[in-house]
């Protein structure tokens, strides 16, 4: 059946400016190809593949020819804990490379240069992340390491450096100044996931990451986070979502098309040595017309014009989150009876209940009331799902999970500990949090940090005890000895568990001194401080309401930038989902991380029948809700007066094709000249479609999960003016 709705869409852009020479970087990164198992042999084989012109027989074209010139090694090169204080920097500040994996870095970069590639490096690592050097930020050791990093880059001939956020070397202005002082031209990537964004006058790097890792937050969050950052994107300061994945052709068309029209750097990150991954998408990755749109500049990096969703009467009802409206029947028919949240469709109709039925993305549904996965508890500003099942371990962030001192209370699950061996025995043991509603994690020195005051927490599950003859320190960062003198020592490095003397609250590790703050009493399942008998070690994980297991309702927008800038302004609203144990690692962090709920979890049932969350209202609307569209229209001006347009169909129903009517109307403040006809070039198909007259309609079909990439070119003789591109109507078929 044909499903239609109307939507108006205004396309507004910045004025055309001079065309600078700097363009979005293009290349390849090792991270999603090889992870920490990267080595020199894999890098050099990848160099050869990037420059191989016979990947597709008869094409006489390589990825390097298409513009992918940077070849970047990511994390995993370092000799973990081989340097000063357990770092991977020498006393001279030199980064220490694992010579078994990378026997000759300078020879490797020379081979890249010989092949016409520009090799890149990675610093401020996450793997075996370094702690603060003595003297702190800006101190002599810190500056020695910073200078040593830059000297290493210059001496080994690197042309690109990715500065991640895994350690303490995050001063991007200092990185810029030291690299400039070295005299070597180098592209600098700031990978601080939406933090340290530039402004109109400050951008000491060439590209900046706009959000978390693609494989953590997903493409939709990446796109919306980048959309909000595009106002700062410009030549030499490019907004960068993340690398480009392999996948089905429609997936690559979506990601590459969106990246191209927002002037994002095009950096591949998959194993291109695997022809099964590369060959099906080689033609897409090397599409010269798409790449040209990405690389050309005409005063604007491009922008998201609008995302919109249907509310079709033929579709089932779902709970949406949208701006509150006075006397709105879709919003003011909620009631709560102490167990169920019900919405009344109308007189004479049975109510529907808010349900945690298993749906894609763990979204909540409206279903016939049955008391199955439909019980809810309002407590502490949150809306908790009633469920007595115990789930397996799930990671918690936002401060929960790190050990701290608390007033002793044996009824608090966060203070109950199970030891795998009896205190005082010579055998090592692990220490697991005994949570009644979720499988707890075990004590672990976070990041295998060898420094004093290193954090100890329960956020990484439980690992086996180290085997005899262990050599990797991370094999033993979850193993502990409970000694007869009352101390508890880490098997990893022999340091003592202590109450941090700086704040008398945090529990971490430090050099053993015999102080009372390093002595403990094990009393049943609790571990009490010898120096403060009323204080016990706790994980800081709060107890959920009785009859619940830590899962609560939340607005499903998972990126802070998106949440603050656009979640409440979405024309189609956003959706409700379930977060907490049993619903995935990234979403399990929310319900128990903070004492006060975030706006996306702050629910209130009003006497007026409105169910509010974060200043918005929950509405019963037709159609599967998505905060990401499902339809998105992007555009970018081109120097010759043309406009590149990308239409994405992000429908979660992948076989659902959208047909959208795009119309040229005579409205102000647009790129295309008014009057005459506009030629339409389909860049994926590499062919021309029928021209469109001014005010005419261009009908475009986009399968679910795919994109259409069009170039609109005014024909010669078109009169001056300012028409607008409008999505006049759309329908799913």
pLDDT above 80 (res 53): yes
**Bridge pairing between strands 207-209 and 187-190:** parallel
Q: Checking phi first, is residue 331 left (phi over 0); if not, alpha (psi -120 to 50) or beta? A: alpha
pLDDT of 579 reads: 81
Average confidence (pLDDT) over 138-152? 96
pLDDT above 70 (res 731): no
Q: Which residues contact 553 (CB under 8 A, 6 or more apart)?
A: 354, 364, 376, 382, 383, 384, 385, 576, 577, 578, 579, 601, 603, 613
pLDDT of 599 reads: 79
Average confidence (pLDDT) over 549-573? 53
pLDDT above 90 (res 37): yes
pLDDT of 134 reads: 86
- Mean pLDDT score across all residues of the chain: 85
Average confidence (pLDDT) over 446-459? 87
C-alpha 659, offset from chain centre: 30
Q: Look up residue 414 and give its DSSP letter.
A: G
Other C-beta atoms closer than 10 Å to the C-beta of 245 total 18
Instruction: Choose the weakest-confidence range: 459-468, 490-499, 511-520, 724-733.
Output: 724-733
> In the block, which residue shows the tokens 């350690």?
167
3-state SS assignment for residue 680: strand
Q: Is the peptide bond before 630 cis (omega within 30 degrees of 0)?
A: yes
pLDDT of 311 reads: 66
Whether 194 contacts 560, CB under 8 Å: yes
pLDDT tens-place string over residues 226-258: 888 899 999 999 999 999 999 899 999 999 999
pLDDT tens-place string over residues 372-422: 889 999 998 899 999 877 766 665 554 568 899 999 998 888 999 999 887
Whether 39 contacts 75, CB under 8 Å: no
How far apart are the C-alpha atoms of 501 and 514, rounded to whole Å?
A: 13
Superfamily of domain 26-301: Aldolase class I (3.20.20.70)
Which helix (H) or strand (E) segment is 179 a member of? Answer: helix 172-182
Identify the residue with better confidence: 437 or 239. Answer: 239
Q: Checking phi first, is residue 230 left (phi over 0); if not, alpha (psi -120 to 50) or beta? A: alpha
Instruction: Choose the weakest-confidence range: 140-149, 571-580, 712-721.
Output: 712-721
Whether 16 contacts 722, CB under 8 Å: no
- What is the DSSP code string of 136-149? -TTSHHHHHHHHHH
pLDDT tens-place string over residues 506-533: 999 999 999 999 999 999 999 999 999 9
Task: Return the percentage of the chain with pLDDT > 70, whole number.
Answer: 85
Identical fold between 404-538 and 628-714: no
Q: Is the peptide bond before 464 cis (omega within 30 degrees of 0)?
A: no
pLDDT of 217 reads: 76
Helices (H), 523-648: 560-565
- What is the DSSP code string of 494-529? -PEEEE-TTTSSBEEEE-----GGG-EEEETTEEEE
Query: Using CA atoms in the order 674, 679, 681, 686, what is the torsion angle rounded to 10 degrees?
Result: -160
Average confidence (pLDDT) over 49-63? 95
Average confidence (pLDDT) over 16-29? 68
Average confidence (pLDDT) over 487-508? 94
Q: What angle do CA 19, 20, 25 make, to 5 degrees?
A: 120
pLDDT above 60 (res 16): no
Instruction: Choose the weakest-confidence range: 103-112, 222-231, 256-265.
Output: 222-231
Which helix (H) or strand (E) segment is 193 a member of? Answer: none
Instruction: Choose the weakest-confidence range: 172-186, 259-273, 292-306, 625-639.
Output: 625-639
How far apart are the C-alpha atoms of 480 and 485, rounded to whole Å?
A: 14
Band the pLDDT of 653: cuts 50, 70, 90.
low
Instruction: Choose the weakest-confidence range: 80-84, 211-215, 454-458, 719-723.
Output: 719-723
- φ/ψ of 42, rounded to 5, equals -65, -40
Identify the residue with better confidence: 615 or 42. Answer: 42
pLDDT of 591 reads: 80
Domain parsing of the chain, residue ranges: 26-301, 404-538, 628-714
pLDDT of 567 reads: 36
Average confidence (pLDDT) over 443-452? 88
Band the pLDDT of 15: cuts 50, 70, 90.
very low
Q: What are the structure tokens assigned to 263, written together?
A: 């002037």
Identify the residue with better confidence: 549 or 719. Answer: 549
pLDDT of 394 reads: 60
Q: What is the CATH number of domain 404-538?
A: 2.80.10.50
Q: What is the CATH number of domain 628-714?
A: 2.60.40.1180
pLDDT above 70 (res 5): no
Instruction: Choose the weakest-confidence range: 482-496, 605-619, 622-636, 713-727.
Output: 713-727
Instruction: Choose the weakest-confidence range: 90-104, 335-349, 581-595.
Output: 581-595
Q: Among candidates 4, 701, 651, 652, which has minimal Cα distance to 313?
A: 4
């Amino acid at each position: 059946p044909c499903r239609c709705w109307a939507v108006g869409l205004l396309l507004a852009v910045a004025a055309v400016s001079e065309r600078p020479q700097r363009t979005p970087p293009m290349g390849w990164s090792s991270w999603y190809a090889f992870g920490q198992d990267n080595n020199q042999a894999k890098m050099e084989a990848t160099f050869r593949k990037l420059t191989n012109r016979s990947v597709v027989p008869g094409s006489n074209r390589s990825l390097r020819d298409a513009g992918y010139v940077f070849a970047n090694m990511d994390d995993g090169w370092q000799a973990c804990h081989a340097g000063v204080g357990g770092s991977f920097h020498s006393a001279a500040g030199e980064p220490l490379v694992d010579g078994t994996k990378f026997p000759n870095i300078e020879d490797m970069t020379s081979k890249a240069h010989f092949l016409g590639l520009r090799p890149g490096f990675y610093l401020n690592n996450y793997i075996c992340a370094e702690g603060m050097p003595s003297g702190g930020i800006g101190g002599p050791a810190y500056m020695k390491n910073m200078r040593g990093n830059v000297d290493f880059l210059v001496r080994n001939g690197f042309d690109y450096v990715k500065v991640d956020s895994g350690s303490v070397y995050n001063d991007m202005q200092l990185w810029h100044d030291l690299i400039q002082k070295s005299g070597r031209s180098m592209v600098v990537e700031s990978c601080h996931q939406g933090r340290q964004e530039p402004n109109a006058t400050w951008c000491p790097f060439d590209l900046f990451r706009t959000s978390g890792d693609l494989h953590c937050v997903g493409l939709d969050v990446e796109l919306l986070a980048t959309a909000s950052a595009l106002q700062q994107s410009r030549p030499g300061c490019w907004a960068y979502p993340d690398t480009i994945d392999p996948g089905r052709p429609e997936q690559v068309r979506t990601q590459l098309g969106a990246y191209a029209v927002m002037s994002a750097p095009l950096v591949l990150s998959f194993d291109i040595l695997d022809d099964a991954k590369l060959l099906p998408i080689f033609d897409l990755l090397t599409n010269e017309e798409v790449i040209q749109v990405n690389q050309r500049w005409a005063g604007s990096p491009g922008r998201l014009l609008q995302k919109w969703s249907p509310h079709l009467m033929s579709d089932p009802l779902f709970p949406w989150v949208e701006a509150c409206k006075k006397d709105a029947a879709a919003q003011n028919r909620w009631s709560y009876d102490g167990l169920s949240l019900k919405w009344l469709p109308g007189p004479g109709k049975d109510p529907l209940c808010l349900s945690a039925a298993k749906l894609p993305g763990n979204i909540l549904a409206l279903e016939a009331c049955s008391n199955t996965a439909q019980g809810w508890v309002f407590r502490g500003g949150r809306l908790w799902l009633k469920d007595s099942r115990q789930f397996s371990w799930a990671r918690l962030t936002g401060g929960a999970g790190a050990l701290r001192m608390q007033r002793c209370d044996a009824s608090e699950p966060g203070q109950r500990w199970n030891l795998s061996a009896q205190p005082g025995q010579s055998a090592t043991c692990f220490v697991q949090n005994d949570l009644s509603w979720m499988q707890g994690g075990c004590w672990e020195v976070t990041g295998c940090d060898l420094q004093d005051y290193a954090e100890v927490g329960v956020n990484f599950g439980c690992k086996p005890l180290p085997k005899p003859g262990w050599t990797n320190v991370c094999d033993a960062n979850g193993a502990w000895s409970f000694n007869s003198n009352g101390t508890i020592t880490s098997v990893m490095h022999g340091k003592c568990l202590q109450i941090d003397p700086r704040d008398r609250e945090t529990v971490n590790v430090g050099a053993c001194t015999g102080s009372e703050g390093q002595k403990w009493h094990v009393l049943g399942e609790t571990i009490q401080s010898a120096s403060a008998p009323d204080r016990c070690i706790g994980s800081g994980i709060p107890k959920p309401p009785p009859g619940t297991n830590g899962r609560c309702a939340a607005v499903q927008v998972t990126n802070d930038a998106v949440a603050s800038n656009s979640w409440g302004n979405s024309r189609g609203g956003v959706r409700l989902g379930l977060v907490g144990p049993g619903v995935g690692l990234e979403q399990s962090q929310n319900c128990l991380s903070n004492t006060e709920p975030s706006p996306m979890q702050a629910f209130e049932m009003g006497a007026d029948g409105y169910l509010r969350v974060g200043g918005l209202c929950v509405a019963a609307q037709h159609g599967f809700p998505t905060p990401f569209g499902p339809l998105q229209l992007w555009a970018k001006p081109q120097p010759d007066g043309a406009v590149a347009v990308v239409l994405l169909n992000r429908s979660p129903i992948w076989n659902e094709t959208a047909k959208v009517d795009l119309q040229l109307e005579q409205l102000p403040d647009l790129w295309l000249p008014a009057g005459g006809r506009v030629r339409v070039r389909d860049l994926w198909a590499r062919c021309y479609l029928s021209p469109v007259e001014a005010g005419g309609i261009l009908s475009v079909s986009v399968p679910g999960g795919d994109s259409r990439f069009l170039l609109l070119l005014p024909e010669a003789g078109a009169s001056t003016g300012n028409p607008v591109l409008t999505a006049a109507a759309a329908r799913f078929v």
